[in-house]
């Protein structure tokens, strides 16, 4: 089980001012963020939504298959290894930006933050290896029957749902991984449930799964 926390997430306008306001609402100062990943639409390679005081390490990526899922896992891994304490994900989604703020236990203590959800685990399995996910959960101390919400592309959810009895697929039009992550946390809150899986897969590529605990 990991110790990575979801502090806040939001859908905001495409501007530095909107990002600044969202960070303030979450009780986060830009200087606390040690790394940011900004995932841009292919037709907007020069978009820059960072604000003054934002982290010196800002990666800008062109949107690509499974890239947002991988960057989410990479952010969690860097905090688990204590290379980073707070990471910001910014992702274009239609006419808005979806942001998610993740941090380590050290950041919780340093900045007196209130964690809202827990990234309990993340895994990559080969194409056709979805059946290994229940075993991944078990090794991390969870039972597959505890997973009650699933988020991802409809075709992928249809493929995976049978592995998690009693789980409910989330119906969302959100295309971004950050947006789906935020939506999953909010739905866990609304339903008073504890565990959900965020899933991503590309044609011929691996399946990336992120376990979210409320």
DSSP string for residues in 163-183: GSTT-EE------SHHHHHHH
Higher pLDDT residue, 9 or 49? 9
Which of 186, 194, 209 is closest to 137 using CA atoms?
209
Burial code (b: 16+ CB inside 10 Å, e: under 16) for 113-122 equals bebbbbbbbb
What is the distance between the alpha carbons of residues 141 and 194, in angstroms, rounded to a whole number?
14
Report the distance separating Cα 212 and Cα 6, nearest Å.
9
Question: Do the domains 4-111 and 117-213 sit in the same CATH topology, yes or no?
Answer: yes
Classify domain 117-213 at the CATH topology level.
Peroxisomal Thiolase; Chain A, domain 1 (3.40.47)
Residues 6 or more apart in contact with residue 172 via CB below 8 angstroms:
151, 179, 180, 183
Looking at residue 184, the DSSP 8-state letter turns out to be H
- 4-111: CATH homologous superfamily? Thiolase/Chalcone synthase (3.40.47.10)
Q: What are 48-93's pLDDT values in tens digits?
A: 788 888 787 899 898 888 999 999 999 999 999 999 999 999 999 9
Spans of all domains in the chain: 4-111, 117-213
Distance CA 214, CA 194 (A): 5
Please check whether residue 197 is in contact with residue 180, taking contact to mean a CB–CB distance below 8 angstroms.
no
- Tens of pLDDT, residue by residue over 152-191, are 988 889 889 899 988 999 977 788 999 999 999 999 999 8
Identify the band that residue 44 occupies on the pLDDT scale cut at 50, 70 and 90. low
Q: If you average pLDDT over residues 29-54, what whole number do you get?
A: 84
* Integer Cα distance of 195 and 213 in angstroms: 5
For 139-154, write each residue's pLDDT tens digit: 988 988 889 999 998 8
């Amino acid at each position: 089980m990991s110790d990575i926390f979801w502090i806040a997430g939001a859908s905001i306008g495409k501007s530095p001012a909107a990002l600044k306001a969202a960070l303030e609402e979450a009780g986060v100062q830009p200087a606390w963020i040690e790394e940011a990943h900004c995932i841009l639409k292919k037709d907007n390679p020069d978009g820059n939504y960072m604000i003054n005081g934002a982290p010196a390490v800002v990666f800008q990526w062109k949107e690509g298959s499974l890239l947002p899922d991988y960057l989410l896992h990479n952010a969690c891994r860097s905090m688990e290894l204590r290379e980073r304490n707070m990471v910001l994900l910014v992702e274009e989604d239609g006419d808005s930006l979806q942001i998610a703020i993740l941090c380590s236990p050290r950041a919780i203590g340093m900045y007196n933050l209130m964690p809202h959800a827990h990234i309990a685990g993340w895994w990559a399995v080969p194409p056709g290896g979805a059946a290994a996910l229940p075993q991944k959960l078990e090794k991390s101390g969870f039972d597959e029957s505890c997973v009650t919400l699933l988020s991802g592309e409809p075709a992928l959810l249809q493929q995976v749902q049978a592995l998690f009895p009693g789980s409910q697929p989330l119906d969302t039009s959100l295309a971004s991984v950050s947006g789906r992550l935020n939506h999953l946390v909010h739905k866990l809150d609304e339903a008073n449930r504890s565990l959900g899986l965020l899933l991503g897969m590309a044609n011929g590529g691996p399946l990336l799964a992120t376990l979210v605990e409320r």
